[in-house]
């Protein structure tokens, strides 16, 4: 495992949204780094019953991020969370395309994620309507969620290599 560098200074400005957006790009690079040396079988290997493969984890992370980013940007977000966990194998190329699509979505939505959207309060579509938080809270929580799954991917990779 390599060292974690801090993201480069955001290009637009130094507000909370630009910093968090830069962190999402950084964690996507780290996810790609974890894929190095893994073939399709390794990406779809499940360490134990009830656990998820690396491919499934990435599909879930990308779905969660998309829902959160679209909601913060004020765009309708539809997500079938359950489908993210259906054990359908993905190729390495498909997993990389998921991450590429996630990066493209960030670039597309970044101009809409401003301070007023970070201060706005709303629920996410897949959460309880009573779970109302600020956009900043949702974005920060989702970044933490992605980092947790990065650790899960690292552990799954280690177990597979045993």
In this prediction, residue 17 has a pLDDT band, given cuts at 50, 70 and 90, of confident
Q: Which two tokens stand for residue 90?
A: 């993905």
Report pTM.
Answer: 0.88
User: What are residue 106's phi and psi, to 5 degrees?
Assistant: -60, -50
In this prediction, residue 14 has a pLDDT band, given cuts at 50, 70 and 90, of very low
Q: In which element (H, E) is residue 50 found?
A: none
In this prediction, residue 74 has a pLDDT band, given cuts at 50, 70 and 90, of very high
Spatial CA neighbour of 142 closest among 36, 75, 70? 70
Q: In which element (H, E) is residue 133 found?
A: strand 133-134
Determine the pLDDT at residue 92.
97
Sign of CA dihedral 150, 152, 157, 162: positive
pLDDT, tens digit, for every residue of 77-128?
A: 999 998 999 878 999 999 999 999 999 999 999 999 999 999 999 999 999 9
Q: Is the pLDDT of residue 157 over 70?
A: yes
């Amino acid at each position: 495992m390599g060292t974690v560098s801090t993201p480069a200074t955001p290009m637009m400005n130094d507000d909370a949204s630009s910093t968090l957006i830069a962190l999402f790009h950084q964690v996507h690079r780290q996810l790609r780094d974890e894929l190095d040396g893994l073939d399709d079988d390794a990406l779809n290997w499940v360490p134990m019953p009830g656990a998820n493969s690396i491919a499934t984890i990435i599909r879930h992370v990308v779905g969660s991020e998309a829902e959160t980013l679209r909601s913060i940007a004020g765009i309708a977000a539809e997500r079938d969370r359950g489908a993210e966990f259906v054990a359908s194998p993905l190729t390495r190329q498909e997993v990389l395309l998921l991450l590429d699509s996630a990066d493209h979505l960030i670039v597309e939505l970044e101009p809409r994620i401003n301070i007023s959207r970070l201060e706005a309060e709303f629920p996410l579509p897949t959460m309880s309507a009573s779970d109302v938080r600020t956009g900043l809270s949702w974005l920060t929580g989702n970044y933490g969620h992605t980092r947790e799954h990065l650790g899960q991917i690292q552990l799954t990779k280690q177990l597979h290599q045993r």
